[in-house]
Structure 1
Amino acid sequence: MTAPQNGREASHASGAARQGMPPWLPKAIAIGLALTAVFEVTVWAARQLVGFGVMLLISFFLAMVMEPAVSRLEARGLSRTPATLIVFAVTLAAIGGFSAAMVTLLIDQATQVSGEVPELFDTLVDWVNRTFHTNITTERLLRGSGNVETSVRQAADHAWGVSTTVIGGVFEVFTIALFAYYFTADGPRVRRGIISLLPPRRRAAAHRAWDIALAKTGGYVYSRALLALFSAIAHTAAFAVLGVPYAMALGVWVGVVSQFVPTVGTYLAAALPTLVALTVDPWDGVWVVAFATAYQQVENYVLQPRVTSRTVEVHPAVAFGSVLAGAALLGAVGAVIAIPAVATLQAIVSSCLPRYDTSPAVTSEAGLTGDVD
């Protein structure tokens, strides 16, 4: 085969290869790679902003809680900014007072327990020696627990980690408070801005849904706060009569936790004062449990129906399911806001969708006449 023939065959093969690749394929590959890169960057950014999104959600929820109180102060003649500052200051004072009481209680209890640890440890060692006929000494256990220098270094590392966590928590609280204030102070403007994005025919329904959300969220929190106040006063008085230490702090703990921690809040609230009472006298712990149980019955059958009759009406099974779903999605934040969110959704659906009479008389008449709804 001659050289010109080889050249013609090579050019023919390259031409066939060029003809075999569609002209749009390189562009499609480039677009596919670009879309993949955009998707990966978007997913990465979303993961990085999850924490910030949760803080915005908490801020918006707090703004919805404070909005009814601010509106009432506005109706009494105050301007928006002073009304927001007053409600915001009261909210911060309530949260700060509860936090301070709990921190004081925990620090005092931790100090007391740490002072009793050596005595408890000696008692435990004596019991082990008597029961199992051993000859264990406290000094031997302490020597075998490791190098003191290593323990000190580990304690320093833990202290640094705790300090970093505390600083991060303070920054998150400040961020939530800042956005909650701006969402509340600029509430009407935020509302108009969001609703203006909708078509005109949808704006009336959006206004109605927004009003329902504010009423349900504010009603839920205010009714729970009122029940928490009643519970805190009653339990504080009972703990003071029983001689339980830190009666006021424990009473506030029971009031807040029992009302704002869904489903299991009642049991968690009673656990802490029961443990504290047991350190004084076992019978005090029994009386604490008895009083908490009796008060819960009074709250369920007397107080709660009157306080929450016009606020949040959610079936217990729906409330429990919503709490589980909210906790699975957003953790503790989702569990707290799940019930008012479901109540709001339920109210919006009830107000927007038509309802038909399903009484036995109507359904039997419809079946006899052949009418179909």
Structure 2
Amino acid sequence: MPTPPAVTPRPDPVPASVRAWAGWSWRALVILAALAVGLWLLSVVKVIVVPVAVALLLTVLLSPLVRGLHRHARLPRAVAAGTALVLTLALVIGLLTLAGRSIVNGIAELGEQAREGFAQLTDWLAEGPLKLSTAQLDDYVSQLQDAVASSGQQIASGALSVGVTVGHVVAGALIALFCTLFFLIDGRNIWAWVVGLLPRGSRERVHQAGRRGWVTLGAYTRTQILVAGVDAVGIGVGAAFLQLPLVVPLAVLVFFGSFIPFVGAIVTGSVAVLVALVTQGWGSALIMLAIVLVVQQFEGHVLQPFLMGHAVSLHPVAVLLVVTTGSLVAGIVGALFAVPIAAVLNTVVLYLHGHDKFPQLGTGDHVPIRAKGHPVLDRAVAAAAEAESEAQATREEQADAPDATPGGSPVTS
């Protein structure tokens, strides 16, 4: 029977590089689609996700205080957590009350000065380079009034949406306080339960990566509070030097706004300059602008590189891009949480790929061991059982092996 001729395979017309790029492309599309679905789900449950994220920030901030009250003041952990949370609420409410009183006392003066500033602006438009006539200015003002009057329905719907938003904020605040209290009381057991849901082989690495991410989050929170305090004190002292109204509200606004890197400092600084312009004119506005720039330069060239860079290990360019992306995706909330999320992910991913930023933490287990059969992190118990099993197997192998030397002579004990 004749042998069939060998069939020569046709060469693949698609180059190997194109096939490789095609493989990477569809995988990248699947990953992007999964990320898009995840972000959509987060947007659906943002009323829950955002308060839990705030609770995590408060927990990492208050944990040292709770530990101090528990160890040194001998308070039960639940009492220590409640005391720390009440003190924090009292501080925040006190700052907001002080700022509110300053606003109430100075709003009349500010309104009068704003009217004077508007009159000066009108005079400058009429007598300055633009040379606008009084009739033109009156026409522009009447058009503005008509536009405001015709948008009454939009204003009413906006007020309704604001009411809904206020309701969401109140509900979110209650959820955040509730979660913070129980994270402070029983956070280790909650984390142990979460890690225990994972496959046994991956629990230890996830636990150690989570510990390092928690340290990074704490370093970011404490450093950001320090940076915000420096910004608030610097701009507040400058406003007090210029004898501007609403100094305390401006300082409080700068403090809270500085938690959004770059963007918050620019916006709050602009508010301070605007107040100076309205109340005291161009000269004070330029001086206030110089003060704001000096404070921001000190923050950008001293505090951010040395403190924040060491805390989160992110380049300032990366911080700017992350904040911009977060604001585009989720607005103010995205800008607020973008940097801590990026910092924690950076630490966790580096650890999972073999680069430990915190080798001093070691591999000690700081999660309490729970009862057998509970789906939690029981590394110590599992390791002891495995060591005992290996020792038993070694003893059995030695018992079954012939007691002889390589030369065949019996071994005497």
Give the partner amino acid of 1:268: V
Q: Secondary structure at the match of 1:262?
A: coil
Alignment-derived partner of residue 270 in structure 1? 269
The answer to whether the Cα contact below 8 Å between 1:125 and 1:136 also exists between their aligned partners in 2 is: no
Alignment-derived partner of residue 84 in structure 1? 81
Unaligned stretches of 5+ residues in structure 2: 1-39, 356-413
Alignment-derived partner of residue 369 in structure 1? none
Distance 2:79 2:208 in 1: 27
Give the partner amino acid of 1:283: G
The answer to whether the Cα contact below 8 Å between 2:213 and 2:344 also exists between their aligned partners in 1 is: yes
Alignment-derived partner of residue 8 in structure 1? none
Distance 1:56 1:188, change over 3 A: same
Alignment-derived partner of residue 26 in structure 1? none
The answer to whether the Cα contact below 8 Å between 1:66 and 1:218 also exists between their aligned partners in 2 is: no
TM-score with structure 1 setting the length: 0.66
Distance 1:307 1:245 in 2: 32
Distance 1:261 1:101, change over 3 A: farther
Give the partner amino acid of 2:83: I
The answer to whether the Cα contact below 8 Å between 1:233 and 1:251 also exists between their aligned partners in 2 is: yes
Distance 1:339 1:153, change over 3 A: closer
Distance 1:61 1:200, change over 3 A: same
Identify the range of structure 1 (223-232 vs 99-108) with the bigger mean alpha-carbon deviation. Answer: 99-108
Distance 2:60 2:238 in 1: 35
Superposed displacement of residue 224, structure 1: 1.2
Superposed displacement of residue 333, structure 1: 2.0
Superposed displacement of residue 314, structure 1: 0.6
Q: Which has the higher contact order (CA 8 A, sep 6+)?
A: 2
Alignment-derived partner of residue 236 in structure 1? 236
Q: Secondary structure at the match of 1:261?
A: coil
Superposed displacement of residue 136, structure 1: 9.0
Alignment-derived partner of residue 52 in structure 1? 48
The answer to whether the Cα contact below 8 Å between 1:128 and 1:134 also exists between their aligned partners in 2 is: no
1:62 aligns with 2:58: yes
Alignment-derived partner of residue 224 in structure 1? 224
TM-score with structure 2 setting the length: 0.61
Superposed displacement of residue 271, structure 1: 0.8
Identical-residue share of aligned pairs (%): 26
RMSD: 4.2
Superposed displacement of residue 217, structure 1: 1.0
Superposed displacement of residue 225, structure 1: 0.8
Residue correspondence of structure 1 range 16-165 to structure 2 within 5 A: 49-76=45-72, 77-101=74-98, 103-104=100-101, 111-112=108-109, 114=111, 163=163, 165=165
Q: Secondary structure at the match of 1:244?
A: coil
Map Cα deviations across residues 195-228 of structure 1 (whole Å, 9 max, x no partner): 1112333222222122112211111111111222
Identify the range of structure 1 (272-281 vs 70-79) with the bigger mean alpha-carbon deviation. Answer: 70-79
Alignment-derived partner of residue 202 in structure 1? 202
Superposed displacement of residue 168, structure 1: 4.2
Superposed displacement of residue 190, structure 1: 0.6
Distance 1:46 1:237 in 2: 41
Alignment-derived partner of residue 299 in structure 2? 299
The answer to whether the Cα contact below 8 Å between 2:50 and 2:172 also exists between their aligned partners in 1 is: no
The answer to whether the Cα contact below 8 Å between 2:220 and 2:311 also exists between their aligned partners in 1 is: yes
Give the partner amino acid of 1:166: V
Higher helix fraction (1 or 2): 1
Superposed displacement of residue 187, structure 1: 0.6
Distance 1:226 1:61 in 2: 15
Q: Secondary structure at the match of 2:312?
A: coil
Distance 2:59 2:84 in 1: 10
The answer to whether the Cα contact below 8 Å between 1:70 and 1:84 also exists between their aligned partners in 2 is: yes
Q: Secondary structure at the match of 1:354?
A: coil
The answer to whether the Cα contact below 8 Å between 1:244 and 1:284 also exists between their aligned partners in 2 is: no
Alignment-derived partner of residue 215 in structure 1? 215
Identify the range of structure 1 (114-123 vs 227-236) with the bigger mean alpha-carbon deviation. Answer: 114-123
Distance 1:213 1:102, change over 3 A: farther
Unaligned stretches of 5+ residues in structure 1: 1-43, 356-373
Identify the range of structure 1 (160-169 vs 324-333) with the bigger mean alpha-carbon deviation. Answer: 160-169
Map Cα deviations across residues 309-346 of structure 1 (whole Å, 9 max, x no partner): 65221112322232233334433222212212211122
Q: Secondary structure at the match of 1:333?
A: helix
Distance 1:80 1:154, change over 3 A: same
Map Cα deviations across residues 84-140 of structure 1 (whole Å, 9 max, x no partner): 2233223323433444455556656665565567777778888899966666998xx
How many pairs align?
Answer: 312
The answer to whether the Cα contact below 8 Å between 1:65 and 1:218 also exists between their aligned partners in 2 is: yes
Q: Secondary structure at the match of 1:174?
A: helix
